[in-house]
């Protein structure tokens, strides 16, 4: 039971009981409660987070950490790609004599101003836009670099094939360099007794000495005639052909595929020849060229210089 409350009456100088208004008291209590509840809802969120807000703040912090990590990774990848571009431009393309890729092509662009419209209302618009731009630029630059490497691989394969086909060794064994009988240029013919162009080199060799293909290719002639006696012609591709003349015997026929170093016949004394030897020619794009410049494969620098000197000395050919 609640206690009776009294109030002092100054007129009667007596304490009189206070009459309670239950409705007013309840109304006042409800109003006060609602006021303080509203005040709490306005103030407390600024000082205390709800569980959902705490989880959201935690996820946001983790997201920013991941974004920063990805940004750092993109920067590292850009540095790696820049190094690859540099080697591609200043080493690989020079090595394979390929045209450089223009810088404006390498620095590939990205989407227009409206491309990132979807990010404009994001809370992390700046960070995400930069991240997407980096990813976009990097991916397009990698496409350019990938195409460049595809081209270089093709050039490397062609270069490998080219090096295998170009005539690059002597057509007979000549390690001591004593078989050079005559070089390229005007020479006195021993049978016709006239000066005329000598479009190849003569190697002294007894009948039956093995003769080797000087590069990979296809035999496009194997027979007798034209003053060369028994002779072989090989098409090496890339504009190169070689001729092996005055043979005693052939081991290949027209249409055969041959490899560098393969025996294709044996030296002899057939045709207009003053003695057993091998006459060897190199033709490039239909014109005879000095074979001595194509012996770099099996000679060191000193022997090569000596061979050049020997080839220039003899003034009379053997055919």
Domain 180-313: CATH superfamily is Glucose Permease (Domain IIA) (2.70.70.10)
* Residue 133 to residue 216: CA distance in whole angstroms: 51
What is the average per-residue pLDDT within 188-200? 66
User: What ranges do the domains of the chain cover?
Assistant: 6-46, 64-165, 180-313
The two tokens of residue 139 are 């991916």
Query: How many residues are there in the chain?
Result: 319
Q: Which residues pair with 197 in a beta bridge?
A: 186
Strands (E), 205-256: 210-212, 217-224, 230-237, 240-250
DSSP, collapsed to helix, strand or coil, labels residue 2 as: coil
Q: What is the rounded distance in angstroms from the CA atom of residue 221 to the CA atom of residue 18?
A: 139
Q: What is the pLDDT of residues 246-302, one digit of tens each?
A: 999 999 999 999 999 999 999 999 988 878 989 999 999 999 998 888 887 777 777
Which of 193, 201, 204 has the alpha carbon at shortest distance from 272?
193
> What CA–CA distance (Å, rounded) separates 274 from 191?
7
| SS3 label, residue 50 | coil
Residue 120's pLDDT is 62
Residue 99, classed as helix, strand or coil, is coil
249, β-bridge pairs: 266
Cα 230 to the chain's mean position, in Å? Answer: 47
* Residue 124 pLDDT: 64
pLDDT at 216 over 70: yes
């Amino acid at each position: 039971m609640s206690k009776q409350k009294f109030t002092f009456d100054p007129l009667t100088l007596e304490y009189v009981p206070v009459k309670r208004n239950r409705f007013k008291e309840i109304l006042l209590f409800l109003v006060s409660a609602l006021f303080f509840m509203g005040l709490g809802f306005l103030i407390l969120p600024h000082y205390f987070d709800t569980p959902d807000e705490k989880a959201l703040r935690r996820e946001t912090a983790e997201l920013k950490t991941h974004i920063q990590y990805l940004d750092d990774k993109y920067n590292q990848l850009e540095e790696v790609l820049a190094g690859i571009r540099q080697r591609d431009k200043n080493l690989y393309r020079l090595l394979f004599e390929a045209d450089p890729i223009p810088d404006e092509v390498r620095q590939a662009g990205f989407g227009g101003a409206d491309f990132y419209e979807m990010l404009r209302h994001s809370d992390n618009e700046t960070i995400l836009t930069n991240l997407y731009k980096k990813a976009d630029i990097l991916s397009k630059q990698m496409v350019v670099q990938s195409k460049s490497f595809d081209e270089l691989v093709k050039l490397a394969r062609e270069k490998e094939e080219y090096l295998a086909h170009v005539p690059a060794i002597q057509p007979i064994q000549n390690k001591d360099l004593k078989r050079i009988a005559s070089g390229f240029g005007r020479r006195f013919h021993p049978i016709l007794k006239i000066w005329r162009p000598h479009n190849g080199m003569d190697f002294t060799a007894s009948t039956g000495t093995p003769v080797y293909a000087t590069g990979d290719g296809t035999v496009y002639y194997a027979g007798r005639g034209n003053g060369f006696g028994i002779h072989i012609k090989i098409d090496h591709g890339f504009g190169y052909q070689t001729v092996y003349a005055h043979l005693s015997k052939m081991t290949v026929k027209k249409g055969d595929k041959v490899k560098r170093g393969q025996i294709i016949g044996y030296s002899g004394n057939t045709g207009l020849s003053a003695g057993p030897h091998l006459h060897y020619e190199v033709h490039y794009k239909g014109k005879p060229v000095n074979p001595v410049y194509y012996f770099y494969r099996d000679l060191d620098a000193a022997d090569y210089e000596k061979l050049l000197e020997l080839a220039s000395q003899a003034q009379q050919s053997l055919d």
